Every structure is written in structure tokens, then in C-alpha cells.
Amino acid sequence: MSPAGRTTAEIIAEALECYEQLTHWLGVGLADMCALLDPEVIVIAGGLAEGGQEAGLVGAADLARQP
């Protein structure tokens, strides 16, 4: 149990939820920028890029681009 009285599983679940929300809205933002600027490629680097499929960027961007 953590010093705050919450179990590690609760903390991990909350962190995962935050990460999923972050990547969803990042995908939405990137889709909007693609619609506005029509770039040929978007490069995502750093720690977020290491999330792979867990990041959910492709799905979020695809969802945001649908009419």
C-alpha cells in the first residue's frame, strides 16, 4: 500500500486512464492539424513514441477524421 493509503493497483489504473485520455486527445489534435495543414508525415518522438500501440494514436486520429 502506498503512503497515501491507496494500493499500487489503484494508482496504476488511474495512471493508465490518464495516459489513455492524453493519447486520445493528442490523436484528435493531430487529426485536426492534418486537416488544416495537410502534412505528408507526422513524427512523434520521445517517451510517448515508445508507447507503441498502447498509445492509441492511430485509432484516435482515425476516429477524429471520420465525419
> What Å distances lie between residue 2 and 5, 14, 16, 18, 24, CA to CA?
5, 14, 17, 19, 29
Report the domain count for the chain: 1
Is 1 within the bounds of a domain? no
Three-class secondary structure of residue 47 per DSSP:
coil
What is the per-residue pLDDT for 30?
Answer: 92
**Which domain does 17 fall in, by range?**
8-64
In this predicted structure, which of 13-17, 42-46, 56-60 has the lowest mean pLDDT?
56-60
Q: What is the pLDDT of residues 9-39, one digit of tens each?
A: 888 888 888 888 988 898 899 999 999 999 9
pTM above 0.75, yes or no: no
pLDDT: is 24 or 46 the higher one? 24
